[in-house]
Structure 1
Amino acid sequence: MKTIAVIGGGITGVTTAYALAKRGLDVTLYERHRYPAMETSFANGGQLSASNAEAWNHWSTVVKGLKWMWRHDAPLLVRPSPSWHQLSWFAEFVRAIPRYRSNTIETARLAVAARQHLYAWAAAENIDFDLKRKGILHIYHDKAGFDHAAQVTRLLAQGGLERRAVTPEEMRAIEPTLAGSYYGGFYTESDASGDIHKFTVGMAAASERLGVRCVYGHDIGRLSLGSHGVTVEAQGAHRYDGIVICAGNGSRRLGAMLGDHVNVYPVKGYSITVNLTTPESQLGAPQVSLLDDATKLVASRLGQDRLRIAGTAEFNGMNRDIRADRIRPLVDWVERCFPSVSTRSVVPWAGLRPTMPDMMPRVGRGRAPGVFYNTGHGHLGWTLAAVTADAVADAVASAAQQATGRRPASSA
């Protein structure tokens, strides 16, 4: 197995193509947009956050979803017009609740391991993506939220992540621009933030330098299996020895063509990019990345003149509308927490996170020989992409070795 098609030009597809090319495989990347990273990898919250590894599969999440169903500005919003896909996803979500602890621990382990790959790749390829290695500060308004975070911290520690409780006074020392009154916080010094779009575009260019053929502006019409591999129909039929599906929310449709059930659901998130156009705004915006647990919002400083605020979770199918009543709470949060920051220039965005019901990405082999997946990372695609790309590349390279009897090239 020498020729590999990678479907999807977001963060998971581009890093997968890069990892495969580093192992000496002949890779073609397909992306339906004209450029890489134009959907969920375009304007997310920017956090490389092992500290946000807690799985959502918890009865408290279910209660919040029911309680907030009619609140248009709710952090978690389920639109009351369910489809069969949504209902089946929720059923699998509930069945995964007993695995909440183990999945949280495993996700933390993956997130910690992902860092070495991402930082090494960025350094090797000289990619500037506004990286800030200043940690992430989780902030809590009440004792209940803080106490739950303490329990989560113990799970994260089992996954190899160290984070520490901090007092309101320590919070102000960590991020002096943060206004408001808080019960306490948790600080993870090893976390970071950066611009996912810049990183993905840089990695796509690095992949091309390694010989990856990037085919942009091509929708996948059909995938079919044969005795000699997989045929990709995209402005013509093209045969490959193997395929890796990294197509985000499109993975469900493509997986079905290959005989696999990949139950990703599009969980919509919103973001705003605040342009820091004045010296006062630049001085008044945070340098440390933040997560407000009560509002489910994150903040990341991107360079000198941008502040990214993102979050919320909306279950509304493939709806990509940017709603004013969902954007307004993000702007209000900035004005409340960072009153010196001007919100005169704000760019809104919405993206659909491809999420598996158990909050664990689908990584590895499919049912048919030569079929692999790296998809369904949910809100942690940016955080986990490097390690899952490396894992699936190992699996593909191992299959190639078995097929040819030769040792695959090193990823170093």
Structure 2
Amino acid sequence: MKVIVLGAGIAGVCTAWYLLEAGHDVTVIDRADAAAMETSFANAGQLSYGYTTPWAAPGIPKKAAKWLLRQHSPLIFRPDGSLFQLQWLWQMLGNCNSGRYHQNKERMVRVSEYSREMFRHFQAEHVLDFEGRNKGTLQIFRTEKEVSAAEGDIEVLQAYGVPYQRLQPEACLQYEPALKNALHKIAGALHLPNDATGDCHLFARKLAQMCTEKGADFKFNCEISRIEHSDGLIKAVHAGGGRFEADRFVCALGSFSRPVLAGLGLDLPVYPVKGYSLTVPVTDGSAAPVSTIIDETYKVAITRFNERIRIGGMAELSGYKLQLAPERRETLELVVNDLFPGSGDLRRAVFWSGLRPMTPDSTPIIGATRFDNLFINTGHGTLGWTMSLGSAKLTADLVCGRETEIRSDDLGLARYEK
């Protein structure tokens, strides 16, 4: 069977890999000049299986109102002039209740835990160096109020069997020794031992090469102009001046899945939530983090690669704009300087922004559409890297018509069309 995958980000490349593993003829189409050049390029680097949680949660509207007034806010709202932005926000608010939260959390944990298993299987069979580390995540709280608020998250971790450990400030040093000079700023912490880290861009690029060696055909610099369809079937994709036919198609275009599929009459509730990152060369390894630290106050993650530190965070709702805001860089620099002073050379840091494809319920959209041969794998929000292999294996099984290894009937676009 011939399958076309739209998008060569982490979701698209991983989907292509599992389709190749199933023996299919795969073509990947992307407008960039190489794999993982957009949202997958410089994300925070976390494989946050234990930190998987919906943005839409009880109390979030009240918190968001306070965040918007802060100087170094984790949330930024800029009207983009579209009705869709307001509709999306309204839908998200509709998910900020206990019942929806637990339903969405279960879906997300299901996909994340499956992805963790897929990573375990993949790494047991293939040697691929992506500067990965399996040292867990340390979530730090700067106030007693944050410590108390975390009890709700701990209940959820217990309910889903996710390992965790509560820590007093001094105990943080067994996982992150370089925090010794910042202990007085920490009220408590939570350690998630099953979490991991790694360079998403590096992984995607190397996996794309493995896909090519397996026979995949990557069509880069190939902008999609339209999708041809009739009688409930996709016939071809027009891109880069060419026409590409296939038996089945997968859309893994991240935030751009919505505008591309709009021409088919499909209304994907996927909004581009902008995030920022800094990539800093390490100058003093002893002063740098060992794995990933999440600063709950600023909602910023600090992740260690081999000789680099990646600082990522913020959620900006401003449409498809990728302009770099200097004040966001100031926030990222503030957090890393506060917790790990002298660890890296900020003068040589690379400042970046990317658009995370976010759904109103925080759950990805994985599955079939009303077109019999079109499938979707998008909407992972901040967890595209975490959910990458699990979502891809699930998508590939659905494309192949095989029984899936985890429940998938509630992950598709149909949940929004009811």
TM-score with structure 2 setting the length: 0.91
Q: State the partner residue of 1:231.
A: 236
Counterpart of 2:258, as a letter, is R
Q: State the partner residue of 1:163.
A: 164
1-side partners of 2:228 and 2:402: how far apart?
A: 19
Overall identity of the aligned pairs, in %:
34
Q: State the partner residue of 1:200.
A: 204
Query: 1:358 offset after TM fit, Å?
Result: 0.7
Query: 1:27 offset after TM fit, Å?
Result: 1.1
Say whether 1:63 aligns with 2:66: no
59-68 vs 342-351, greater mean Cα deviation: 59-68
1:373-384 alignment, distance < 5 Å: 373-384=376-387
Q: State the partner residue of 2:319.
A: 317
243-252 vs 146-155, greater mean Cα deviation: 146-155
Contact 1:10 1:37 in 2 (8 A): yes
Residues 397 and 81 of structure 1: is their aligned pair in 2 closer, same or farther, counting only changes over 3 Å? closer
Q: Residue by residue, what CA displacement relative to the aligned partner does 1:310-335 show, whole Å, maximum 9, x if unpaired? A: 01111010110111111111111111
Query: 1:221 offset after TM fit, Å?
Result: 0.3
| Structure 2 SS opposite 1:383 | coil
1-side partners of 2:271 and 2:124: how far apart?
A: 34
Q: State the partner residue of 1:404.
A: none
Q: 2:190 aligns with which of 186, 192, 196?
A: 186
Q: Residue by residue, what CA displacement relative to the aligned partner does 1:249-302 show, whole Å, maximum 9, x if unpaired? A: 1100222223321111110110001111x3xx2221010211111100001110
Q: State the partner residue of 1:350.
A: 353
Contact 1:267 1:378 in 2 (8 A): yes
Contact 1:104 1:156 in 2 (8 A): no
Q: State the partner residue of 2:406.
A: none
155-164 vs 194-203, greater mean Cα deviation: 155-164
114-123 vs 28-37, greater mean Cα deviation: 114-123
Q: State the partner residue of 1:410.
A: none
Residues 58 and 82 of structure 1: is their aligned pair in 2 closer, same or farther, counting only changes over 3 Å? farther
Say whether 1:209 aligns with 2:210: no
Q: State the partner residue of 2:250.
A: 244
2-side partners of 1:73 and 1:286: how far apart?
A: 22
Q: State the partner residue of 2:413.
A: none
Q: State the partner residue of 1:262.
A: 268
Query: 1:151 offset after TM fit, Å?
Result: 1.3
165-174 vs 105-114, greater mean Cα deviation: 105-114
Contact 2:80 2:319 in 1 (8 A): no
Q: State the partner residue of 1:409.
A: none
Contact 2:59 2:96 in 1 (8 A): no
| Structure 1 SS opposite 2:390 | helix
Query: 1:185 offset after TM fit, Å?
Result: 0.5
1:4-403 alignment, distance < 5 Å: 4-69=3-68, 71=70, 73-98=72-97, 99-178=100-179, 179-180=181-182, 181-227=185-231, 229-234=234-239, 235-276=241-282, 278=283, 281-303=284-306, 305-342=307-344, 343-398=346-401
Structure 2: runs of 5+ lacking an equivalent: 404-418
Query: 1:176 offset after TM fit, Å?
Result: 1.1
Counterpart of 2:104, as a letter, is N
Contact 1:156 1:162 in 2 (8 A): yes
16-25 vs 158-167, greater mean Cα deviation: 158-167
2-side partners of 1:130 and 1:313: how far apart?
A: 26
Residues 223 and 229 of structure 1: is their aligned pair in 2 closer, same or farther, counting only changes over 3 Å? closer
Counterpart of 1:87, as a letter, is L
Structure 1: runs of 5+ lacking an equivalent: 401-412
Contact 2:175 2:290 in 1 (8 A): no
2-side partners of 1:85 and 1:367: how far apart?
A: 22
Query: 1:396 offset after TM fit, Å?
Result: 0.6
| Structure 2 SS opposite 1:85 | helix
Contact 2:79 2:317 in 1 (8 A): no
2-side partners of 1:187 and 1:67: how far apart?
A: 27
Say whether 1:3 aligns with 2:6: no
2-side partners of 1:42 and 1:161: how far apart?
A: 29
2-side partners of 1:60 and 1:77: how far apart?
A: 18
151-160 vs 187-196, greater mean Cα deviation: 151-160
Query: 1:368 offset after TM fit, Å?
Result: 1.1
4+ residue runs over 6 A deviation = none
Query: 1:36 offset after TM fit, Å?
Result: 0.4
2-side partners of 1:94 and 1:346: how far apart?
A: 36
2-side partners of 1:19 and 1:258: how far apart?
A: 26
Q: Residue by residue, what CA displacement relative to the aligned partner does 1:219-241 show, whole Å, maximum 9, x if unpaired? A: 00001213564310012222211
Counterpart of 1:391, as a letter, is L
Aligned length: 395
Contact 1:106 1:159 in 2 (8 A): no
Q: State the partner residue of 2:411.
A: none
11-20 vs 176-185, greater mean Cα deviation: 176-185
| Structure 1 SS opposite 2:178 | coil
Contact 1:355 1:376 in 2 (8 A): yes
2-side partners of 1:399 and 1:188: how far apart?
A: 33
2-side partners of 1:122 and 1:312: how far apart?
A: 31
1-side partners of 2:323 and 2:124: how far apart?
A: 37
